[in-house]
Amino acid sequence: MNHPPVVLPRLTAMVRQAVPRLLEAVVAPLAVFYAAFGLLGETGALVAVASWVYLGVAWRLVRRTRVPATMIVAAVAITARTVVALWTGNITFYLIQPEVGTICLSMVFLASVRLNKPMVQKLTLDYIHLPQAVLKHERMRKFFARITLLWGFVLLTNSTVSIWLAIHQTLGTYFLMRTSAVAAISGLAIAFSLWAFKRVLRRLHHAPA
């Protein structure tokens, strides 16, 4: 008896869902920061990025649509980062703070493998339903453990590179090199994760229960 087939959402459908959030959460704040930095300086750029996040929350409240929990967390985080940066007068603290949080998150990913509760599995189940028979299969359990390890080290690498650039490079060089490095590392990790996921599912379709 074979395991029941698992149907993945089309890649184009996932991209259509992800692109608007990516533009709003990553690309737009970066563009706002660059534009405001050239016109208003460091302080103006910090205030402008915070204002962008607040406007996103306010727009949803006015339209009476649900405000995502991630946006609320982002608003709280950006407020704390902006206050610390303005208080210290050093923008490096503004750049480093989220990277410290990412390092902590990478430790959670790595620890979850040790505890036999890989984080990638929990995140995957938020978007894709997998039958219990599939989740309990040895190949699938090994897959989630290995991919969680991969992403733990990806997050750690991205943060380490970002912190080094923030300390040793100018602001313009930091944004250019950090964006390029993080995009390249994360892009490769995403492509490999999707390929490995489809590969293990194909093998499960032909494996005995």
pLDDT tens digits for range 20-42: 766 766 667 778 877 888 788 87
- The residue range of the domain holding 17 is 11-205
Question: Is 39 within a domain?
Answer: yes
Q: What percent of the chain has pLDDT over 70?
A: 79
Query: Would you state the structure tokens that stand for residue 66, as one six-digit string?
Result: 């649900």
Question: Is 55 within a domain?
Answer: yes
pLDDT higher at 172 or 52: 52
Nearest to 7 by CA among 146, 206, 197, 144: 197
Q: How far apart are CA 53 and CA 33, in angstroms?
A: 12
Q: Indicate the pTM of the whole model.
A: 0.66
What pLDDT was estimated at residue 1? 47
Cβ contact 201:6 at 8 Å: yes
Q: Domain tally for the chain?
A: 1
Question: Is 142 within a domain?
Answer: yes
pLDDT tens digits for range 144-155: 999 999 999 999
Question: Is 185 within a domain?
Answer: yes
Question: Is 19 within a domain?
Answer: yes
Quick one: average pLDDT of 70-78? Answer: 72
Question: Is 2 within a domain?
Answer: no
